[in-house]
Amino acid sequence: MEKLDSTSYHNFVAEGNKVVEFIAEWCIDCKRLSFSVPAWEETYSNFQFGSVDVDLDRKLAEDQDIKGVPTFLVYKDGREVGRLLSREAKNEENVQVFLHKHLD
């Protein structure tokens, strides 16, 4: 998973199929879900995965209207096509259903 910041974020999502997870170092759910990311990257290999640490780039999180972590955004050629908010994203099964819906 590529680590993103305000400099690299817009270039990352501009083209192709992307998933961006907004996380925080202190977030227990983010840490727990991080173990599933390699499997998701393999399953959905037609998408690139990136992450943004909201504590390191608060402005970017604010600009993307991120209210909590973890939050997942799906982009296709620069256009946001899916958003899984933190309250639903804390459960691995919910994330899996979300990814399957938007990435297949």
What is the side-by-side strand order in the sheet with 2-4? 2-4, 48-53, 17-23, 71-76, 79-84
Domains and CATH numbers, the chain: 2-101 (3.40.30.10)
pLDDT, mean over the chain: 94
Model-level pTM greater than 0.85?
yes
pLDDT at 91: 87
**Residue type at position 16:** G
d(CA 77, CA 69): 24
* E strand intervals along 5-78: 17-23, 48-53, 71-76
The yes-or-no verdict on residue 104 having pLDDT over 80 is no
Query: What amino acid positions are annotated as catalytic residues?
Result: 27, 30
pLDDT in tens, 34-51: 999 999 999 999 999 999
